[in-house]
């Protein structure tokens, strides 16, 4: 395994925003870009644009007009079987191997507005997804594989992963039932949450800001919904670069018609 700079970004329509990816990638220079919410089928993905950026290797799990995940890489991609972790079989998960590392890319359901699985089917779907993912992570943990898990997990798990812990306790993405379910996934797979391994609380980390906030930077009502986790075998390499190896590229949120998520990168040492 060599050094690997990996990125995750909920792009919220790749056909609309691939120029943003090109502008950002020219500066950030990641080796691997994991995208969520691409909102297209594989044959609709802008392959030529990514090849022009220097990412000729692309793996896509797409769906018409919604969901969808994709991985673009400078390095060759080995496709791995995707396990059925989404109860509705939506395009929300892929896994590949790049330079000896298994990369799992997730787009976990947002869950709607009401945090009640009895009255809100979308929230129930989210909890069911997390429960299935917990079982899958537990099954894989004994293998000792080198795994990087990334994506829009649509949960801000810690007190300082949201702008106001108290005000968001009953808001979907930060309710106790969700944060506990995500913790259970992480613990089942013995994953290391890289952001919080490198940046201690009470320092806040945000990767998403609502479109509803006109001046998002002034109000700064963000949440940490986008994550990079690593398996125990990669902990040393993931943390070796210190906090400067992990970055939230929040300037992209200032661009014209941006995604509401910012890209996140991690430089993994060789």
Across the range 51-64, mean pLDDT stands at: 98
Domain that holds residue 168: 4-268
Q: What is the pLDDT of residues 202-219, one digit of tens each?
A: 999 999 999 998 899 999
Tell me the residue ranges of DSSP E strands in 172-217.
Answer: 192-193, 208-209
Structure tokens at 119: 């009255």
pLDDT of res. 82: 84
* pLDDT above 80: residue 2: no
* pLDDT above 80: residue 14: yes
Tell me the residue ranges of DSSP E strands in the chain.
Answer: 4-10, 32-36, 57-61, 69-73, 78-79, 93-98, 101-107, 147-152, 192-193, 208-209, 222-223, 226-230, 246-248, 264-268
Across the range 228-250, mean pLDDT stands at: 97
Cα distance between residue 4 and residue 32, in whole Å: 8
Across the range 215-224, mean pLDDT stands at: 96
pLDDT of res. 270: 78
Across the range 219-248, mean pLDDT stands at: 97
pLDDT of res. 42: 97
pLDDT of res. 58: 98
The enclosing domain of 40 has a CATH number of: 3.60.10.10
HSE-CB for 57 with a 13 A CA cutoff? 15
* pLDDT above 90: residue 71: yes
Question: Do residues 21 and 33 touch, judged by C-beta distance below 8 A?
Answer: yes
Across the range 19-44, mean pLDDT stands at: 98
Question: Do residues 13 and 70 touch, judged by C-beta distance below 8 A?
Answer: no
Percent of the chain with pLDDT over 90: 96
Q: What is the pLDDT of residues 81-115, one digit of tens each?
A: 888 899 999 999 999 999 999 999 999 999 999 99
* pLDDT above 90: residue 68: yes
pLDDT of res. 126: 98
The DSSP bridge pattern shows strands 264-268 and 4-10 to be antiparallel
The DSSP bridge pattern shows strands 4-10 and 32-36 to be parallel
**Bridge partners, 192 (sequence order):** 230
Q: What is the pLDDT of residues 156-171, one digit of tens each?
A: 999 999 999 999 999 9
Structure tokens at 106: 């997730």
Cα distance between residue 174 and residue 162, in whole Å: 8
Q: What is the pLDDT of residues 169-190, one digit of tens each?
A: 999 999 999 999 999 999 999 9
3-class state of residue 18 by DSSP:
helix
Domains contained in the chain, number: 1
Alpha-helical (H) ranges within 13-154 are: 14-28, 47-53, 121-141
Q: What is the pLDDT of residues 117-166, one digit of tens each?
A: 999 999 999 999 999 999 999 999 999 999 999 999 999 999 999 999 99
């Amino acid at each position: 395994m060599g050094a690997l700079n990996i990125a995750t970004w909920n792009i919220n329509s790749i056909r609309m925003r691939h120029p943003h990816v090109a502008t950002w990638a020219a500066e950030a220079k990641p080796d691997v870009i994991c995208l969520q919410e691409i909102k297209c089928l594989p044959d609709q993905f802008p392959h030529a644009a990514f090849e022009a950026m220097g990412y000729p290797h692309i793996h896509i799990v797409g769906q018409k007009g919604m969901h969808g995940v994709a991985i673009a890489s400078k390095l060759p991609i080995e496709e791995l079987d995707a396990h059925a972790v989404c109860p509705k079989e939506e395009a929300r998960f892929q896994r590949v191997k790049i330079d000896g590392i298994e990369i799992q890319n997730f787009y976990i359901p947002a869950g709607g507005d009401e945090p009640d699985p009895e009255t809100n089917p979308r929230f129930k779907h989210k909890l069911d997804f997390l429960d299935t993912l917990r079982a899958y992570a537990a099954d894989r943990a004994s293998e000792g594989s080198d795994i990087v898990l990334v994506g829009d997990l649509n949960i801000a798990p810690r007190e300082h992963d949201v702008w106001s812990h108290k005000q968001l306790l009953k808001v979907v993405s930060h309710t106790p039932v969700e944060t506990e379910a995500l913790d259970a996934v992480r613990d089942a797979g013995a994953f290391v949450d890289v952001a919080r391994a490198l940046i201690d609380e009470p320092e806040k980390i945000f990767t998403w800001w609502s479109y509803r906030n006109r001046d998002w930077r002034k109000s700064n009502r963000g949440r940490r919904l986008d994550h990079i986790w690593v398996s125990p075998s990669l902990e040393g390499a993931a943390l070796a670069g210190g906090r400067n190896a992990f970055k939230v590229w929040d300037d992209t949120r200032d661009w014209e018609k941006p995604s509401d998520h910012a890209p996140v990168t991690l430089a993994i040492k060789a």
